[in-house]
C-alpha cells in the first residue's frame, strides 16, 4: 500500500467516525427534544401541579390544579418514571392539545435531556477511540454521566 492510499484511508476512517459520533449526538438531541421542548419553551403553555393518585401501565393519573393564568385540564396523565410516588405533588407543563403532562423544574429539565446524556456517553467512546481524541471523549463522557446522575438524584 502506498503512502497516499494509507493517508486517504486514514481520512476516510476519521470521517466515518466523525459521522457516527455526529449521528449519535443528533439522534440523542432529537429524542430528547420531544419532551424537552415543553420544559425549555414553557412560556405560553399551561402550568400547574399534578397530584399523583393512581399508577398503571407506565402512566400515572391524578387531579391537575392549574397555576394562575392557566386553564384546567381534566384527566391529566404523566409518565410513571417521572412520578415519584402516590400522593406526590409534581409541578408540570401540559403538552398542547393533549392530556399529557411533562414534569417541569430542574428535575423535569434534567430528565428530558436523558437521551442526549446517553448519546454523549456513547459518542464519547467513538470520539476517544475512533477519532483518537481522548480529552474530548472524556469531556463528553463525563458530561453525559454527570447529567444522568443529576437527573436520577433530582428525581
Go through the chain and tell me how many residues it has: 155
134 with 21: CB under 8 angstroms? no
- Compute how many other C-beta atoms are within 10 angstroms of the C-beta atom of residue 78: 23
Q: What is the mean pLDDT of residues 19-48?
A: 94
SS3 40: helix
Contact 92, 50 (CB under 8 A): yes
Query: What's the CA gap between 112 and 125, in Å, rounded?
Result: 23
pLDDT at 85 over 80: no
Mean residue pLDDT of the chain comes to 92
Q: Using pLDDT thresholds of 50, 70 and 90, give the confidence band for residue 81.
A: confident
Question: Which pLDDT belongs to residue 7?
Answer: 94
d(CA 109, CA 80): 16
Please name the residues in contact with 103: beta carbons below 8 A apart, sequence gap of 6 or more.
39, 78, 82, 90, 91, 92, 111
pLDDT of residue 56: 84
Residue 135's pLDDT is 97
pLDDT at 12: 95
Ordered domains of the chain (ranges, CATH): 21-42+104-155 (no CATH), 44-103 (2.40.50)
- Own/partner contacts of 81-85, CB < 8 Å, gap of 24 or more, are 81/111, 82/108, 82/111, 82/155, 83/50, 83/52, 83/55, 84/52, 84/155, 85/52
Residue 83 has pLDDT above 70, yes or no: no
Distance of CA 120 to the CA centre of its chain: 11
Mean pLDDT of 94-99: 90
Amino acid at each position: 500500500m502506498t503512502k497516499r492510499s494509507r493517508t486517504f484511508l486514514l481520512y476516510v476512517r476519521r470521517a466515518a467516525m466523525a459521522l457516527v459520533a455526529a449521528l449519535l449526538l443528533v439522534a440523542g438531541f432529537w429524542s430528547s427534544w420531544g419532551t424537552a421542548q415543553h420544559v425549555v419553551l414553557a412560556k405560553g403553555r399551561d402550568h400547574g401541579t399534578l397530584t399523583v393518585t393512581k399508577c398503571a401501565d407506565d402512566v400515572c393519573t391524578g387531579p391537575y390544579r392549574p397555576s394562575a393564568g392557566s386553564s384546567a385540564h381534566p384527566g391529566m396523565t404523566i409518565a410513571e418514571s417521572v412520578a415519584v410516588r402516590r400522593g406526590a405533588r409534581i409541578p408540570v407543563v401540559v403538552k398542547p392539545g393533549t392530556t399529557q403532562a411533562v414534569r417541569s423544574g430542574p428535575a423535569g429539565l434534567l430528565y428530558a435531556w436523558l437521551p442526549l446524556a446517553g448519546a454523549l456517553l456513547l459518542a464519547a467512546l467513538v470520539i476517544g477511540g475512533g477519532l483518537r481524541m481522548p480529552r474530548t471523549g472524556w469531556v463528553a463522557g463525563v458530561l453525559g454521566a454527570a447529567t444522568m446522575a443529576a437527573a436520577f438524584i433530582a428525581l
